[in-house]
């Protein structure tokens, strides 16, 4: 649960998350409270229902999915500064030079070393609004960035849906 006091509006904001098997999930409820009572409240109202056991892939197979466009990544944490992402943290003092006609367009490739992996739960919402808590791997890199990717075997994924 997170509690935030806002002295300007004289309110308190509270956010609570569902914990399943020691995993803090994205299933949350939020409430803003003032001296006059509840100002705003939101959250999931459905029941959690088990759908049984599903096979999951290995962390190594999930790491391969990090580069597969069929499995969109979910960034779960990022470094404190843009400098670790290769973006200078210094204001320019002069205009950038004009590139020469026909010159190659710079395209940096960031290489990151995975230093930790853990199995977690992630929120998946279907096109008809059904919400699932599904297993996912979270990979943490040496710069503090974390990326999540679904951990279910492809046989347990309905890939007939195209967006």
DSSP-derived 3-state class of residue 13 = strand
Residue 80 in tokens = 């404190």
The span from the CA of 32 to the CA of 42, in Å, is 9
Tens digits of residue pLDDT in 86-112: 555 667 788 888 889 999 998 888 788
- Tell me the whole-structure pTM to 2 decimals: 0.68
Task: Give the mean model confidence (pLDDT) for residues 38-47.
Answer: 87
The span from the CA of 123 to the CA of 79, in Å, is 23
Tens digits of residue pLDDT in 58-85: 999 999 999 888 888 788 777 776 555 5
For a pLDDT cut of 70, what percent of the chain falls above it? Answer: 87
């Amino acid at each position: 649960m997170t509690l935030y006091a806002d002295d300007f509006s004289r309110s308190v904001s509270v956010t609570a998350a569902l914990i399943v098997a020691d995993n803090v999930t994205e299933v949350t409820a939020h409430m803003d409270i003032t001296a006059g009572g509840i100002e705003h409240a939101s959250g999931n109202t459905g029941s959690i229902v088990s759908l049984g056991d599903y096979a999951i892939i290995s962390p190594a197979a999930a790491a391969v999915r990090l580069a597969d466009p069929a499995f969109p990544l979910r960034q779960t944490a990022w470094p404190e500064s843009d400098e670790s992402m290769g973006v200078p943290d210094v204001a320019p003092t002069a205009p950038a030079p004009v590139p020469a006609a026909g010159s190659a367009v710079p395209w940096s490739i960031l290489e990151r070393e995975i230093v930790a992996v853990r199995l977690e739960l992630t929120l998946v919402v279907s096109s008809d609004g059904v919400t699932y808590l599904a297993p996912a791997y979270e990979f943490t890199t040496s710069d503090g960035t974390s990326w999540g990717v679904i951990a279910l075997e492809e046989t347990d994924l309905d890939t007939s849906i195209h967006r």
